[in-house]
């Protein structure tokens, strides 16, 4: 009965009701789209971090990442074969990437540049690390003496695909060693520090250069992002001398800090949007309720209490909030799959040197949150406008025109 009366009152004043619906629809729609945009940015950051550098995380000796060692190779993993077998048997891992890293001197015969080398299992990594963005040449796969070089490092060394270069480094025993390599490709991740210093070569070549058969770390590609926690739930019991670190911790400065910033920014903008919507509803509802003073006075004179009047107004607000939020969500989907179907090309963000093409990724489950916020916003706007009028003396309400 209450819903029926609320609907009748709303349909009786269609102009005011449509104004409130439009205010709610635009507000909740903007909130829903902005959440999808924010989610798209965070997802792009996550993909770039996982598929350009770290995988879903890596395994090292316990405490290795938190400390600087004079002789880091003494803390590399001698039992990497056992760890690799355990990961394969888990059923949750799609790729396993044993790695070693080292600092070396690169020369093309005329120019000498220092850089950080990463020895990798290139045949495994080629199909997973798709965000390296090879801008010249090709990805390193099974080329025995191949090397891929960051764009900034390649510019400094003045090398292009097909050029020969020599890498010099100290072995773990302290003697100088060198290998000749052929540049197969030049990559650009958008992270300047990475692109200016990193080069990647075959793991076996790096181990020959360093004169070791150990690996420094094992990076991991999971079948699903959410498999990290179940995979490593009992890892410490199996390998007490090792530790696992997810990519968000490995790339805390760029990835995690950016995600935290975006979430805080979204919360601030959500608050601003909701305040604007509440004020818009309050303005429209106030005007509508003031026009209904005589009607409210008649209801009060017929025995309806202040609570009954407020309850009726609240039901009207709930109906308006629900319909307005649904309208906003429908509008968001129409906008996303028409005008914004190709996403938005964003300029380089702090810490990056390349643009990102951001897709609006609307989250269906967040639609329920949006509807709830729309209803609550409408309720607040109705309460602010309705309680004062409902408490006005009956005689004053009946005298209203």
Q: Domain residues for 366? A: 2-49+255-399
In tens, the pLDDT along 205-245 reads 999 999 998 999 999 999 998 899 898 888 888 888 889 99
Query: Do 32 and 67 share a domain, yes or no?
Result: no
Q: Are residues 235 and 263 in the same domain?
A: no
Regarding whether 235 and 136 lie in a shared domain, the answer is: yes
With respect to residue 295, please indicate whether it lies within any of the assigned structural domains.
Answer: yes
- Whether 44 maps to a domain, the answer reads yes
**Among 114-128, 150-164, 299-313, 386-400, whose mean pLDDT is lowest?**
386-400
Instruction: Examine the domain organization and report whether 318 and 225 are in the same domain.
Output: no
> Of 195, 215, 240, which residue sits at a domain end?
240
Domain assignment present for 365: yes
Co-location of 122 and 224 in the same domain:
yes
Q: Is residue 309 part of a domain?
A: yes
Shared domain for 140 and 182, answered yes or no, is yes
SS3 344: strand
Q: What pLDDT score was predicted for residue 195?
A: 92
> Do 156 and 104 fall into the same domain?
yes
250 occurs within a structural domain: no
Residues 212 and 76 in one domain: yes
Tokens at 158, concatenated = 């003045």
Residues 266 and 378 in one domain: yes
**DSSP assignments along 89-157, one per residue:** HHS-EEEEEEEEEEEEEEESSS-EEEEEEEEE-HHHHTTT-GGG-EEEE---SS-TTEEEEEHHHHHHH
| Phi, psi dihedral angles at 321 (to 5 degrees) | -65, -45
Q: Between these two residues, 237 and 187, which has the higher pLDDT value?
A: 187
Query: Partners of 115 in the beta sheet?
Result: 104
Rg (CA), the chain: 31
Model pLDDT, residue 2: 63
Question: Against a cut of 0.85, is the pTM above it?
Answer: no
Quickly state the pLDDT bin for 27 (edges 50, 70, 90): confident
Cα 125 to Cα 41, 128, 141, 159, 272, distances in angstroms: 25, 5, 8, 23, 44
Burial of 162 (0-12, 13-18, 19+ CB in 10 A): exposed
Looking at the structure, tell me whether residues 228 and 286 fall in a common domain: no
In a domain, 57, yes or no: no
Contact 252, 54 (CB under 8 A): no
Provide the domain count of the chain. Answer: 2
Same domain? For 169 and 286 the reply is no
pLDDT value at 162 more than 80: yes
Considering the domain architecture, whether residues 181 and 311 belong to the same structural domain is answered as no
pLDDT of 202 reads: 96
Encoding tokens for residue 284?
A: 């429209």
């Amino acid at each position: 009965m209450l819903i029926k009366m609320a609907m009748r009152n709303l349909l009786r004043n269609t102009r005011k009701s449509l104004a409130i619906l439009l205010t709610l629809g635009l507000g909740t729609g903007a909130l829903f789209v902005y959440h999808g945009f924010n989610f798209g940015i965070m997802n792009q950051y996550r993909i770039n971090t996982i598929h350009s550098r770290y995988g879903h995380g890596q395994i090292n000796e316990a405490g290795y990442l938190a400390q600087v060692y004079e002789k880091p190779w003494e803390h590399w993993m001698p039992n990497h074969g056992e760890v690799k077998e355990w990961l394969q048997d888990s059923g949750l891992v799609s790729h396993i990437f044993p790695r070693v890293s080292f600092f070396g001197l690169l020369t093309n015969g005329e120019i000498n540049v220092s850089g950080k080398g990463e020895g990798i299992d290139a045949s495994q990594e080629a199909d997973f690390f798709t965000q390296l963005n090879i801008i010249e040449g090709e990805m390193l796969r099974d080329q025995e003496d191949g090397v891929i070089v960051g764009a900034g490092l390649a510019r400094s060394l003045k090398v292009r695909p097909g050029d020969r270069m020599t890498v010099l480094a100290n072995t773990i025993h302290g003697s100088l060693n060198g290998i000749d390599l052929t540049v197969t490709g030049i990559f650009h991740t958008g992270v300047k520090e990475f692109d200016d210093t990193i080069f990647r070569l075959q793991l076996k070549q790096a181990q020959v250069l360093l004169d070791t058969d150990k690996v420094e770390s094992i990076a991991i590609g999971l079948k699903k992002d959410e498999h990290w926690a179940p995979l490593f739930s009992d890892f410490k019991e199996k390998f007490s001398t090792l530790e696992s670190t997810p990519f968000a911790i490995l790339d805390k400065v760029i990835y995690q800090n950016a995600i935290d910033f975006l979430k805080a920014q979204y919360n601030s903008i959500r608050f601003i949007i909701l305040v604007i919507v509440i004020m818009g509803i309050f303005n429209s509802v106030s005007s509508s309720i003031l026009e209904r003073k005589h009607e409210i006075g008649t209801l009060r004179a017929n025995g309806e209490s202040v609570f009954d009047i407020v309850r009726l107004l609240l039901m009207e607000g709930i109906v308006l909030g629900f319909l307005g939020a649904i309208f906003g969500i429908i509008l968001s989907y129409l906008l996303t799959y028409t005008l914004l179907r190709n996403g938005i090309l964003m300029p380089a963000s702090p810490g990056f040197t390349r643009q990102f093409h951001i897709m609006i990724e609307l989250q269906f489950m967040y639609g329920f949150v949006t509807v709830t916020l729309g209803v609550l916003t409408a309720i607040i706007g109705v309460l602010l406008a309705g309680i004062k009028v409902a408490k006005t003396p009956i005689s004053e309400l009946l005298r209203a025109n």
